[in-house]
């Protein structure tokens, strides 16, 4: 039986996972896993995209060695980052990583010089984030941009290197902040303001589209399975949302918890009101015409950095266990503050904020971790309050998926503070969502509703019920003062 292989590359790690449908259950086999991180050169941060391509090919070779002769294949990565290709289809530059400092202050300059932020949000529905492709292209070398024959996002580039076909997959293209939510196409005026033409981008490709086989030199090498390449939701969050095991009839919100925490709901129509903009909500395009109405929250990047700087090799599970022994809510930080986006030292940035705000300074990794998890849970609370106000829905359950769904302390804290049932897993929801879209495209599953039923039946999930939080009112007051934000106001 042909298998579906998901290549899922997050900011912190990548994996190839094979999925097979056996008697109504999805069985997974992890074929290969590798680390990912951006690297610094001459003061700038870049992704090693060709090293990622090599890892992808190593993983595909492992699939063949594991006896997989034929498969469908889909690729997803993080959003916003792009590759420029010349006439010969060669890469024109090193690929900037979204945390690179070059876009600091770029949104203010762009909106002053061109369209105001309200107008851009009204057209695109995409929340202003300094690293959106719009602002990255705005500060990119003009001459190089003019010479770009093709502009594609990172997964499009990996697809291109595998198949020779140029696509701009729609879910990820929406993270550029260049798509018009009304026309469902690139916004001609925004492209014009950047000096770009529509012909520099390929046609928008919808998830589920079959692209064909590997290009001849790869197919004929004998190293890889016979692949039918399928455009999946190439934005990792879009695949993750497909992989949420939501039960029909319950109103559910999701938290895709990895390097970023993406909290939101699946909507049939975009919600790009001024109130949604002020609340920091975005409308990324999802699979099958849906919208990912969500907030980007700084997420587990903060603990990844603290762990890296500590250098003890302690696992995330151990750090979470140790944090669970620490005093709760001792120190809190406003996670979404720009100072935590890419500080020289996350440990020092957190300590600095605590010192300046008169809070106890977290001395060791356990206390830093506790501070991060407590603060993230409070940020999730703010996001859920806004979500319910904006959509007018009171959610029954919050599904946490992604690597962060393994963090029991954070899951319980989230249930407690948000006062909502939390269901965790699967932690590989992104790969599973990609596999589900491949299985729908090949006719093995009918639609997303069936895929979600199968996912719910195939992977165990844990349920967390909310417990009262002692001293809650005082804590909320403290949090609000700290973040200078009243959750009821913008």
262 binds ligand LRH (CB under 6 A): yes
Q: Choosing among ligand LRH, ligand ADP, none, which partner's interface includes residue 98 (Cβ < 5 to 8 Å by kind)?
A: ligand LRH
Show the site string, 73-102: x = touches ligand LRH by CB under 6 A, - = not: -----xxx-----------------x----
CB closer to ligand ADP out of 169 and 305: 305
46 binds ligand ADP (CB under 6 A): no
CB closer to ligand ADP out of 128 and 236: 236
Out of 8, 45, 100, 236, which one is annotated catalytic? 236
CB closer to ligand LRH out of 133 and 205: 133
Q: Choosing among ligand ADP, ligand LRH, none, which partner's interface includes residue 233 (Cβ < 5 to 8 Å by kind)?
A: none
> Cα dihedral angle (112, 118, 119, 123), rounded to 10 degrees?
130
- Strand 226-230 with 252-257, pairing: unpaired
Among 264, 404, 425, 433, binds ligand ADP (CB under 6 A): 404
Q: Would residue 94 show up in a list of annotated catalytic residues for this protein?
A: no
- Rounded to whole angstroms, how far apart are CA atoms 422 and 424? 6
Residue 224 · residue 218 · CB < 8 Å? yes
- Rounded to whole angstroms, how far apart are CA atoms 196 and 192? 5
- Total residues contacting ligand ADP by CB under 6 A comes to 17
Residues 66-95 interacting with ligand ADP (rule: CB under 6 A) = none
The closest of 351, 257, 243 to 12, measured between CA atoms, is: 257
CB proximity list for 311: less than 8 A, separation 6 or greater: none
Among 236, 305, 326, 416, binds ligand LRH (CB under 6 A): 236
| Measured CA distances, 271 to 25, 279, 389 (Å) | 35, 12, 12
Q: Burial, 81: exposed, middle or buried (Cβ in 10 Å; 0-12, 13-18, 19+)?
A: buried
CB closer to ligand ADP out of 261 and 438: 261
End-to-end CA distance of the chain: 53
Residue span binding ligand ADP (CB under 6 A) among the ranges 6-14, 44-52, 196-204, 440-448:
6-14
264 binds ligand LRH (CB under 6 A): no
Show the site string, 269-308: x = touches ligand LRH by CB under 6 A, - = not: ---------------------------x------------
The closest of 351, 279, 267 to 309, measured between CA atoms, is: 351
* Burial annotation 314-343 (CB, 10 A radius, 16+ → b, else e): eebeebbbbbbebebbebbbbbbeeebbbe
Q: Choosing among ligand ADP, ligand LRH, none, which partner's interface includes residue 262 (Cβ < 5 to 8 Å by kind)?
A: ligand LRH
Q: Choosing among ligand ADP, ligand LRH, none, which partner's interface includes residue 359 (Cβ < 5 to 8 Å by kind)?
A: none
Q: How far is the CB of 250 from ligand LRH (least distance, A)?
A: 24
13 pairs with which residues across the strands? 35
Residues 299-338 interacting with ligand ADP (rule: CB under 6 A) = 300, 303-304, 316-317, 320
Q: Choosing among ligand LRH, ligand ADP, none, which partner's interface includes residue 136 (Cβ < 5 to 8 Å by kind)?
A: none
| Measured CA distances, 153 to 35, 42, 255, 425 (Å) | 20, 23, 24, 28
- Locate the DSSP E strands across 79-191: 82-85, 95-96, 150-153, 168-169, 179-180, 185-186
335 binds ligand LRH (CB under 6 A): no
- Token code pair at residue 191: 């492209």
Q: How far is the CB of 480 from ligand ADP (least distance, A)?
A: 26
331 binds ligand LRH (CB under 6 A): no
Q: Choosing among ligand LRH, ligand ADP, none, which partner's interface includes residue 80 (Cβ < 5 to 8 Å by kind)?
A: ligand LRH
CB closer to ligand LRH out of 130 and 163: 130
424 binds ligand ADP (CB under 6 A): no
Handedness of CA 437, 439, 440, 445 (dihedral sign): negative
- Token code pair at residue 488: 């009821």
CB proximity list for 304: less than 8 A, separation 6 or greater: 12, 259
Q: Choosing among ligand LRH, ligand ADP, none, which partner's interface includes residue 317 (Cβ < 5 to 8 Å by kind)?
A: ligand ADP
- Rounded to whole angstroms, how far apart are CA atoms 109 and 139? 10
130 binds ligand ADP (CB under 6 A): no
Among 155, 270, 403, 426, binds ligand ADP (CB under 6 A): 403
Q: Choosing among ligand ADP, ligand LRH, none, which partner's interface includes residue 46 (Cβ < 5 to 8 Å by kind)?
A: none
- Rounded to whole angstroms, how far apart are CA atoms 103 and 97? 11
Residues that bind ligand LRH (CB under 6 A): 10-11, 78-80, 98, 235-237, 258-260, 262, 296
Which of the residues are catalytic?
A: 236
């Amino acid at each position: 039986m042909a298998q579906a292989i998901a290549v899922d590359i997050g900011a912190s790690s990548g994996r190839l996972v094979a999925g097979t449908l056996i008697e109504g259950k999805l069985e997974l086999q992890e074929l290969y896993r590798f680390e990912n991180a951006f690297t610094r050169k001459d003061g700038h941060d870049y992704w090693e995209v060709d090293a990622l391509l090599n890892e992808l090919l190593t993983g595909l070779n492992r699939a063949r060695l594991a006896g997989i002769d034929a498969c469908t294949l889909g690729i997803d990565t993080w959003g916003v980052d792009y590759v420029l290709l010349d006439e010969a289809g060669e890469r024109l530059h090193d690929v900037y990583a979204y945390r690179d400092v070059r876009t600091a202050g770029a949104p203010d300059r762009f909106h002053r010089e061109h369209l105001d932020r309200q107008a851009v949000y009204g057209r695109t529905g995409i929340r202003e984030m300094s690293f959106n492709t719009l602002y990255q292209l705005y500060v990119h070398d003009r001459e190089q941009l003019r010479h770009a024959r093709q502009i594609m996002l990172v997964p499009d580039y990996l697809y291109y290197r595998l198949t020779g076909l140029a696509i701009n997959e729609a879910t990820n293209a929406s993270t550029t902040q260049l798509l018009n939510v009304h026309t469902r196409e690139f916004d001609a005026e925004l492209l014009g303001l950047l000096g770009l033409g529509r012909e520099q981008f390929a046609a928008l490709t919808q998830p589920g589209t079959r692209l064909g086989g590997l290009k001849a030199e790869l197919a004929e090498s004998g190293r890889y399975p016979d692949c039918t390449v399928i455009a999946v939701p190439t934005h990792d969050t879009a695949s993750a949302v497909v992989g949420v095991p939501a039960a029909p009839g319950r109103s559910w919100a999701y938290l895709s918890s990895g390097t970023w925490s993406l909290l939101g709901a699946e909507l049939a129509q975009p919600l790009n009101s001024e109130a949604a903009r002020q609340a920091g909500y975005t409308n990324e395009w999802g699979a099958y015409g849906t919208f990912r109405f969500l907030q980007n929250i700084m997420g587990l990047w903060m603990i990844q950095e603290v762990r890296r700087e500590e250098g003890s090799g302690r696992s995330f599970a151990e750090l979470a266990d140790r944090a669970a022994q620490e005093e709760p809510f001792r120190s809190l930080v406003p996670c979404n503050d720009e100072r935590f986006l890419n500080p020289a030292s996350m440990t020092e940035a957190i300590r600095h904020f605590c010192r300046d705000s008169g809070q106890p300074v977290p001395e060791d990794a356990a206390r830093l971790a506790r501070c991060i998890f407590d603060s993230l849970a409070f940020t999730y609370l703010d996001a859920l309050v806004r979500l319910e106000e904006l959509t007018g829905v009171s959610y029954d359950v919050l599904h946490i998926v992604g690597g962060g769904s393994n963090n029991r302390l954070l899951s319980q804290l989230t249930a407690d503070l948000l006062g909502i049932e939390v269901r965790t897993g699967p932690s590989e929801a992104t790969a599973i969502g990609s596999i589900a879209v491949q299985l729908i495209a090949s006719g093995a599953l009918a639609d997303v509703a069936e895929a979600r039923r199968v996912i719910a039946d195939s992977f165990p999930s844990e349920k967390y019920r909310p417990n009262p939080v002692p001293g809650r009112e005082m804590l909320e007051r403290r949090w609000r003062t700290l973040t200078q934000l009243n959750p009821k106001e913008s």
